[in-house]
Amino acid sequence: SAIPEIKSTHSLVAKHVTKEKWDKLSGIVTKTSGFTLAKAIACAVEFDNQHCGIYAGDFDSYRDFADVFDPIIQEYHGISADAKHTSDMDFSKITGNVNPDAPVKSTRIRVGRSINGFGLSPGITKEQRQEVERLFASASKKFPEDLSGEYYPLTGMDEKVRQQLVDDHFLFMSGDPNLKVAGMERDWPEGRGIFHNKDKTFLVWVNEEDQLRIISMEKGGDVLGVFKRLANGIKAVGDSVKAESGKEFCLDEKYGYVHSCPTNLGTGMRASVHIDLPGWTKDGVDKLKARCEELALQPRGTRGESGGQTGHTYDISNKHRLGYSEVQLVQTMSDGVNTLYKEDLELQ
């Protein structure tokens, strides 16, 4: 078939899906979920605002369409063609923590995980999606006490439960145009759900953008405690899934933990705090952005905890995903936040 017109002309897809590559790869259909290159680049074809513009429908996509994925991943993450990725969740290696005096409102760390043998969200079949849900629901019944809680499937959800999840900002919704065009909302809401522990500090989203989106969070700035809970939670899910199905999480020696979006490859980790930085706000947001860049951090504005813009609360997170271990990224974020806080006092 002819190469489609790519509306996102400045995207990585437009740059790396050449006619030669299209002619070579467009006829390939992946084994796990019947995915194609046309499905992978649907967002770049449909929309004109994509930076990356490509998703994987299964682990096979990264291999079968490597001529396209490899250069995109290398360019986006700034890695070399022969780079290897090493994971490390050993929280005992973290030194120090966020200064308890720093005005940190909350801390949140999330990763994604995919179970071998099932498609990723853009390509996963209905049967595979239901099996991922079944494996997770079963795993969640065996969690240790501090992680134990309740799994709430989206299908047939009680209105009171739904409202509570909305109030807690835990519920994910349908209707995101990107996820729709990428194929992630097929059979909605079948096979999707949300788990959280009793304290609401450990959450898992099932079959949203990733098969499993695992989240650890709490009020205050105990980054080490949040990371420790995350590590224990990932292990609890992985051990249980393996015991029940013999399957492990998809882990690639080059690309780390496999996610549907190539921007999340590697650790798939976003470790963030909400912190008040009045000094930096006074100095100028552009200067804060530049400083964060030097510290390998990414700042975003927040809408404030209560919904109103406080004016100086920022979401500060690690910038990198691939090519660094989880321990390195959490350490970088923790140290960087302490640096920003110290400088903020001087700027006030």
Q: Convert the pLDDT of each residue in 268-303 to its tens digit.
A: 999 999 999 999 999 988 999 999 999 999 999 876
Amino acid 310: pLDDT: 58
Are the C-beta atoms of 279 and 343 separated by less than 8 Å?
A: yes
Clarify whether 346 is annotated catalytic: no
Read off the pTM: 0.94
Query: CA-CA-CA-CA torsion for 109, 315, 76, 41, nearest 10 degrees?
Result: 80
Among 263, 267, 313, 332, the one annotated catalytic = 263
Clarify whether 332 is annotated catalytic: no
Amino acid 309: pLDDT: 45
DSSP 232-297: HHHHHHHHHHHHHHS--B-EETTTEE--SSGGG-BT--EEEEEEE-HHHHHH-HHHHHHHHHHTTE
Clarify whether 110 is annotated catalytic: yes
Amino acid 1: pLDDT: 86
Clarify whether 159 is annotated catalytic: no
Amino acid 284: pLDDT: 87
H, E, C per residue of 15-59: HHCCHHHHHHHCCCCCCCCCCCHHHHCHHHHHCCCCCCCCCCCCH
User: Which residues in the chain come in under a pLDDT of 70?
Assistant: 303-310
Among 209, 229, 281, 302, the one annotated catalytic = 209
Write out pLDDT tens, residues 141-187.
999 999 999 999 999 999 999 999 999 989 998 999 999 999 999 99
Q: Degrees (nearest 5) of the Cα angle 108, 173, 237?
A: 50
Please enumerate in sequence order all residues whose Cβ is within 8 A of that of 101, keeping only pairs 6 or more positions apart, or say none: 341
Are the C-beta atoms of 73 and 66 separated by less than 8 Å?
A: no
User: How many angstroms separate the CA atoms of 48 and 234, rounded?
Assistant: 36
The tokens describing 1, both together, are: 């078939």
The tokens describing 115, both together, are: 């179970």
Query: CA-CA-CA-CA torsion for 43, 44, 49, 53, nearest 10 degrees?
Result: 80
Among 43, 250, 261, 292, the one annotated catalytic = 261
